[in-house]
Amino acid sequence: MKAISIFCSVLFLVSNVFGQTAELCQGAYFTEPEGKTFLEKHAVSSKLEWETRAEKIKKQIREGMGLTSLPAKPTSKPIVHSKKVMDGYTIENVAFESMPGIYVTGNLYRPIKKQKSYAGILCPHGHGENPHGRFREQTQKRCATLARMGAVVFVYDMVGQGDSKQCEHKMAKALKLQTINSIRSLDYLLSIPGIDPERVAVTGESGGGTQTFLLAALDNRVKVSVPVVMVSAHFFGGCVCESGLPIHKKGDYQTNNVEIAALAAPRPMIMISDGGDWTKNTPEVEYPFIQNIYGLYGKKSQLEAVHLADEKHDYGPSKRKAMYGFMAKHLGLDLKSVTDAQGNIDEGPSKLLEIKDLEVFNTAHPRPANAVMGDEAVLSLLQ
C-alpha cells in the first residue's frame, strides 16, 4: 500500500461536491494529541452513558450517509460460476444485485470438509496498488486459509475496483454504496445453507477495516469483528469511500473512528495495529478507550489487541496469524488444520490464482444487461 497517501489525496479533490466540506473529517483531521484529548473528553463511566452516546453515533452515521432506510432488496438470483476445487477448499465466482442494476462482485471460498454448520466470514479489502483488492496475495491467502479452517468466506470488491466497474471508486457517494454492498453481502452470506447466524464475522484492512467497523456498528448480525490497521483516534480514513460523507460531524456533534469501532461492544473484537501508520498509538490511546467500554458490560475479555511495532500498513502474515487465532477462538474454527508440526501457520496450500481465474465478468460470463453504468447513473440511484 505504498501509494495509499498519494491515492487518497487525489480522491479528496472531489470531497466538496456537496458543499459539505466543513462537516467532513478527512484523513488526519485531528493531530495525534487532539485525537487523544478527544477520547479523554468522551470517556464514559456507565453503560447507560455509553449506550446513549452510541445511539447518537449510529444515528449520525445513517443520516450522514443518507441511509436512514435501506433501498429495496432485489429478488434476482445470485450469479455463481467457475467452481475450482483446491487443497481443502473450493472457490466460486459470484455476483448479485445490492440495488436494482448494481452488482456486488467477489469470490466465495468454502471448506471441502462437510460440517453440521459453518461459520461465515466477510472479507472486505483495502486500497492499494495493482492488482487491486481481492486479487492481491494477502487477500487470497486469508480467504483460502479461513476456508481451510472450516469457514465459508465471501470476499467482495470495493466500489469501482476488481469486477465492480459500474462507477469510479472516487464517486462522491462511494461510502453509501459500499455500506449497502456490505449489508447485502451479509445477506448473501447468511442465505447460504448451513451458515450459523451466531458465528458470523467480518475482517478487512485499511479501507476494508473501515468497512469492517462500520458494518459491525450498523448490523448486529456481525458477531465477531477484526478491523486491521485502521482504528485511529486522529485519522478518519483517507478516501471518499471512508470519510467523503458527514458521518463523523454535524454542527456541534463530533465523533471519531474509535467511538465507531467501539459500537461493536460487547461482541468479540481484536484490534490489529502496527508502528508504521496511524494506528501506532493503539496500545496507549485507542485500545484503553475501547477496553473501558467493554468493561462496562463486564466483557473485557472479549476485546483483544495485537500491536506489531516494527511492521507497516498491510494485512501481512503476522497480522493474519493474530486474526486466525482470534477467529478460531470465537467461531469454533479448526486452527490445527492450518498449523504445521512446529506450531506455525502454514498458508502453503492456500494457492494464489490469477485474475482471469477469479473474475466474475468476462467473455463467457458478460455483465448483466440491466447493469447501471457510469457515475451519474449510479448516483441517481443513491439519492
8 Å CB contact between 97 and 76: yes
Q: Is 295 within a domain?
A: yes
Average pLDDT for 68-92: 96
Percent of the chain with pLDDT over 70: 94
Residue 323 domain-assigned (yes or no) = yes
CA distance 12 to 153: 32
How far, rounded to the nearest angstrom, does the alpha carbon of residue 62 sit from its chain's CA centroid? Answer: 17
- 369 or 10: which leads in pLDDT: 369
Question: How large is the average pLDDT for residues 192-204?
Answer: 98
Residues spanned by the domain of 325: 79-358+371-381
For the segment 346-373, the average pLDDT, to the nearest whole number, is 96
- Residue pLDDT, tens place only, 17-28: 434 568 999 999
Burial bucket for residue 22 (CB in 10 Å: 0-12, 13-18, 19+)? exposed
- Residue range 178-190: mean pLDDT, rounded: 98
Average pLDDT along the chain = 94
Residue 63 lies in a domain: no
In a domain, residue 259? The reply is yes
The pLDDT value recorded for residue 383 is 86
The CATH number of residue 276's host domain is 3.40.50.1820
Amino acid 333 reads: L
Residue showing cell 485531528: 30
The answer as to whether 64 is a domain residue is: no
> Which pLDDT tens digit goes with each residue over 303-349?
999 999 999 999 999 999 999 999 999 999 999 999 999 989 999 99
Burial of 69 (C-beta count, 10 Å sphere; 0-12/13-18/19+): exposed
Residue 37 lies in a domain: no
145 domain residue, yes or no? yes
Q: How many residues does the chain have?
A: 383
As for how many domains the chain has, the answer is 1
Is residue 47 a part of any domain in this protein?
A: no
Cis peptide bond upstream of 100, omega within 30: no
Nearest to 167 by CA among 69, 109, 98: 98
